[in-house]
Amino acid sequence: MNECIFCRIVRGEAPARIVYQDEAVTAFHDLNPQAPVHVLIVPNRHISGVAQVEPEDEPMLGRLFTVARRVAEEMGVDRGYRLVVNNGRPAGQSVFHLHLHLLGGRPFQWPPG
């Protein structure tokens, strides 16, 4: 998936403000932040979305959450933050490389829009 923007960010071929990277996942600031803290946590390997995850992806899926916890603590929003995964265009997914949105630093409403 050479043309995928998140694959290019993971490989260091496109600019991004990376806050964490290991062998499985990469976390970087969203280009269009919806909260004072808005970080995207993505698998390094291309997976289009939740609809494409397989049982063998479970370790990586767990890593997305442990990295979310770590980034939330490092950014000082661990008192309360929201994790969002948009899956499919009707749900608001616009980049078809699985990603966890970590949003923090402001109050959030429920239900979401």
Catalog residues that contact ligand DGP under the rule CB under 6 A: 5, 16, 28-32, 40, 86, 92-95
Q: 61 to each of 29, 42, 43, 47, 50, how far by Cα in Å?
A: 19, 9, 8, 11, 10
- By C-beta, is 55 or 109 nearer to ligand DGP? 109
- By C-beta, is 76 or 88 nearer to ligand DGP? 88
99 flagged as catalytic: yes
Which token pair is 99? Answer: 């990603």
Whether omega before 111 lies within 30 degrees of 0, making that bond cis, reads yes
CB of 86 to ligand DGP, least distance (A): 4
Considering the candidates 29, 38, 46, 99, report the single residue annotated as catalytic.
Answer: 99
